[in-house]
Amino acid sequence: MSDRQVVIAIDAMGGENSPFKVLKGAEIFIEKEKDTKIVFFGDQELINQTIKKNNIKLYDYEVINTLDIISDEDNVNTILRSKKNSSIFKALEFSKNIPNSGFVSSGSTAAIMILSRLHMGMIEGIDRPAICSLVPNKKNFSLMLDLGANVTVSGSNLLQFALMGFCYYSIINKNTKPKIGILNIGTENNKGLEFLQEAADLIQSSFLKEYYIGFIEPNKITSGNCDIIISDGYTGNIVLKSAEGISNFITSNLKDIFSKSLKNKISYKLIEKDLNILKNQVNPDIYNGATLIGLNGISVKSHGNANPIAFSYALNQCHNFITNDLNKKIIQSIKNV
């Protein structure tokens, strides 16, 4: 394999409907990125059977057999000591030693976090990794982190999250001067917990001050007025899961309303085009792929229930970070603080 070739190590066994959804997602992704080498880790026999049975077309790929399975119930000791031949463990171990590579999995978030940090280590100057993902808003999308990696944080951790978010955003939206905000219960400078106040002071003392707009309340996340939203992992995870639940509630109720009667079905047809635009705007598939940012490597977590299209977006995220050298940008930003 060429030193310049992008290589993605994939846990083929994690999440629902695997390995089919992983293999089909790879097929969708590889249609656009044919020069990428894919290495699947998991039950070799099952993977090959699934490829053949579903006539999945892949190009430059390899399958590495693993025997252990990590479940959501496994604790840290079990993951580290008894599951060294799992698809997550082996795929991360492989990615660590291959240049221009990254890792993608729909498996256990805890296992991905623990083993990513074990194999890849941290970027010098970054204390903790953060789960970072895109969230839709009225204008396009925002970047939000942390979404669950760190229950408790310090002000300096949030400054580091802001630095990493700034670098991430510069890759996905090169032509915009991003606005950075800290998630809080109010916009006043004296509102919120001490670590939020400390983070605000640290950001305003760094080169990020020209991008910082202050505190942002949760009800303004979808306004589009803030491009990079910084939070501790506990708050961020609650906000994310609350938003997902509310979105599913509204969507299911709309389906019930429009299928209730003939009149409602006709009404649906009249506004079908506008509803499809809204559906596409909030479609979770296109936002799939949360990056465990801050690691000395690329590790992407896909939703466990992602479909093949959503999984292909997670692969695309991983590819973008490798080709745009996300970690190099983070290292340079740390030097500028």
Contacts of 101 (CB under 8 A, 6+ apart): 6, 7, 8, 9, 94, 95, 297, 298, 322
322-335 pLDDT, tens per residue?
Answer: 998 888 888 888 77
CATH number of 1-121+295-325: 3.40.718.10
Q: What is the pLDDT of residues 40-76, one digit of tens each?
A: 999 999 999 999 999 999 989 999 999 998 887 888 8
Whether the pLDDT of residue 277 is over 80: the answer is no
Residue spans per domain, the chain: 1-121+295-325, 127-293
Q: Is the pLDDT of residue 1 over 60?
A: no
Dihedral pair phi/psi, residue 217, rounded to 5°: -85, 150
Q: Alpha-carbon distance 129 to 123, whole Å?
A: 9
Q: Is residue 33 within 8 Å of 126, Cβ to Cβ?
A: no
Answer whether 0.75 is exceeded by the pTM. yes
Listed in sequence order, the residues at least 6 apart from 327 whose beta carbon sits closer than 8 Å to its beta carbon are 123, 295, 296, 297, 298
The residue-averaged pLDDT of 237-251 equals: 84
Q: Please state the separation of Cα 245 from the chain's center in Å.
A: 18
Mean pLDDT for 145-171 is 92
pLDDT score at 3: 59
The tens digit of pLDDT for each residue in 38-47 reads 999 999 999 9
Say yes or no: do domains 1-121+295-325 and 127-293 share a fold.
yes
* H or E stretch at 237: helix 233-258
Task: Provide the pLDDT for residue 337.
Answer: 63
Sheet of 212-216, strand order? 61-65, 37-42, 7-11, 101-105, 299-301, 290-293, 130-136, 141-145, 228-230, 180-183, 212-216
For the chain, the distance separating the N- and C-terminal CA atoms, rounded to the nearest angstrom, is 37
Of the candidate CATH numbers 3.40.718.10, 3.30.470.10, 3.40.309.10, 3.40.47.10, the domain formed by 127-293 belongs to 3.40.718.10
Is a pLDDT exceeding 60 seen at residue 2? Answer: no
Mean pLDDT of 234-262: 85
Integer Cα distance of 139 and 5 in angstroms? 35
